[in-house]
A and B are shown apart, each in its own frame.
Chain A
Amino acid sequence: MRRHGAAKIIVLHLGVIGLLFLAQFFLPAYHQSNAIRIMVLATYAVGYNVLMGYTGLLSLGHAMFFAAGLYGAGLTIYYLDFTPLQGVGFGILSACALSFVFGLLALRARGIAFLIVTMMFAQALFLTTLYFNEITLGDQGFVLSEKLRTMTIGGAVVKFSDPVVKYNFALMVFSACLLLTLVLARSPVGRVLVAIRENEARTRMLGYDTERYKLLSLVISGTISGVSGAAYALLFAYIGSTFATIQYSIFPLLWVLLGGVGTTLGPLVGTALMFYLIDISSDYTSSYLLVVGAVLLVLVLWFPKGILGTLRERWLSWLP
């Protein structure tokens, strides 16, 4: 049965990636640029989902990992003349290191205390970006010029401001992270994470070192969020402290809840839907956060499993 499921799952995921690839030839320019943003942000949600969906740890501080990727890439490209890819690499490393150190400290707290610690650390990082505003320019932020976002790879000049490059880079980043979580979810490690989510005490009793698994999950989750942040800095060229605010910790929570907690494709569905919901509603009202609040309430009250979670429960039990 598992083998039978495996074929379907692989076809589904490769199909989604294939459709996203083909979409760039059909989508009008406006929706194409939306799709780039959705893919980058969905990567962030994918990272968040590893911790919340598969390990069952709720975080209100993921903006710190996103911001670590964003600033790690942005600052090195802006000040240290890193090439775009070196910058992105450094951003990812920063998020990875931050999530490791943070995990060592924060995972000692559990339950509500863990949640509040995530929020506090993220707030401290946000305030730090304001404090060093001579470098980060704080709220105002700074912009990566087109020249800084150009590099030569194997003789060819690649401009990360060109829509085609942007689209395919975003798609590559998203696909890689999506497939990584798919492999993770179906691997023995992923099973242990789910076991921790369902019952940590029992998992520990079965002989698994749950602390190490939780740390691993946090590092993977934080690093993927950093990948998204670094890609965001490179593709959208703007780096500011807004991205470190608590709002940016709440967004991935919202996207994952909407798409379906603990489903591999849920983050993409949730991000895309929310993006267009806000896009459409901003034609009518300037306070799009009202929509965010309403969606959060509706999800909690009537729809706790999200879209793909409900689908999985009702009809598609093989959905990973």
Chain B
Amino acid sequence: MNFGPHLFLAVLEGTVSAFVLAVTALGLSLVFGVMRVVNVAHGVFFMLGAVLAWWSASIVGGQPLLGFGLAMIVAPLVVGAVAVAADWLILRRVNYNPESTIVATIGLLYIIEQMVLILYGPDARPVPAPVYFRVSFPWFGYSGYKLVVIAASAVLLLGTWYGMSKTKLGLYMRATQQDSQMAQAFGVPVRRIYATAFALGAMLAAMAGVLIVPVQQAHYLMGMDPLLLSFIVVIIGGLGSLRGTIIAAFIVGMSDGIISVFFSPTLAKILATLLVAMVLVIRPGGLFGEEEP
């Protein structure tokens, strides 16, 4: 293959990972913005989504489309319920103290991860794609499902944008993000908003997991990479800024995809990680964020 088509393939791959990353990181950003909680267990919610997708596919058996549809309903519901329970049993009890919540979500990460290991096993298991068609370009054929991933992610991003900017719930969330005490004084049920934000963040991660699993296989440790990448994205985008998060997801996702095609993925990750650390050192609020978080 020549350089042109090669680059085209890299851009295509980058776009797919950028969209999935945007959905995952948006969840993390939402939780951080509204609750000021760094959710280290976010990657595990992503992994739970993927594992539940495998489970749905194996129940339905033989009908990938039905399994996918089931997963898109079951995974967010289950993971959302887990998140609400975690908020209620753990985060609320430590009063959303930043350091305690970090330790607590690390604990949650290990517990969920090991439960999945016990119940699901250590194997990576494939999930069939719900639709199978190939888009043929002049130089190579491309899996049509990946285009479905792009479309579905775009719908999720638009849905989140609509919910945040046009609905009452979104208004409440934005009010809580700006000043939770003032919001409470104006009658916003802040505690319930916290639980909702935590659940929505987790659900976004779970749906990203469902979308990616036909491309990537479900494995109990698969949450670590999306977690770190989401951290990178949320930091570059500005802690708590949703628009910044989406812009940053495209910068990071595209460059990660493109660099990985041409250079070693490990080197790409090292550079990205150091770059992000330096961004935080120079601008603690992130590139697109307010000056001070």
Point out residues on A near B: beta carbons under 8 Å.
58, 60, 105-106, 108-113, 115-117, 119-121, 123-124, 127-128, 130-131, 246, 250, 253, 257, 285, 287, 289-290, 292-297, 299-301, 304
Are the CB atoms of B281 and A117 closer together than 8 Å?
yes
- The size of the chain B interface, using a CB distance under 8 A, is 42
**CB under 8 Å from chain A, chain B span 270-288:** 270, 273-274, 276-278, 280-282, 284
Are the CB atoms of A131 and B235 closer together than 8 Å?
no
- A120 — which chain B residues lie within 8 A by C-beta? 231-232, 273-274, 276-277, 280
Across chains A and B, the number of contacting residue pairs, with CB separation under 8 Å, is 114
Quick one: given A109-B284, A110-B284, are A117 and B277 in contact (CB under 8 Å)? yes
Whether B147 is near chain A, meaning CB under 8 Å from some CB there, is no
- A301 — which chain B residues lie within 8 A by C-beta? 90, 93-94, 104
- B264 — which chain A residues lie within 8 A by C-beta? 131
Are the CB atoms of B104 and A300 closer together than 8 Å?
yes
**CB under 8 Å from chain A, chain B span 99-138:** 99-100, 102-104, 106-111, 113-115, 117-118
Which residue of the partner chain B has the closest CB to A292? B110
User: How far apart are the CA atoms of A110 and B274 in the complex, in Å?
Assistant: 17
Query: What's the minimum C-beta distance from A108 to chain B, rounded to whole angstroms?
Result: 5
Quick one: given A124-B273, A253-B103, are A111 and B293 in contact (CB under 8 Å)? yes
Point out residues on B near A: beta carbons under 8 Å.
38, 90, 93-94, 98-100, 102-104, 106-111, 113-115, 117-118, 224, 228, 231-232, 235, 239, 264, 266-267, 269-270, 273-274, 276-278, 280-282, 284, 293
Interface of A: prevailing SS: helix
Query: What's the minimum C-beta distance from B117 to chain A, rounded to whole angstroms?
Result: 6
- A116 — which chain B residues lie within 8 A by C-beta? 38, 231, 235, 280
Are the CB atoms of A290 and B103 closer together than 8 Å?
no
Quick one: given A113-B293, A116-B280, are A293 and B114 in contact (CB under 8 Å)? yes
A-B contact pairs, 17 of them (CB 8 A): A58-B99, A111-B293, A112-B38, A246-B224, A250-B106, A289-B113, A290-B110, A290-B111, A290-B114, A290-B115, A292-B107, A296-B104, A296-B106, A300-B90, A300-B100, A300-B107, A301-B93
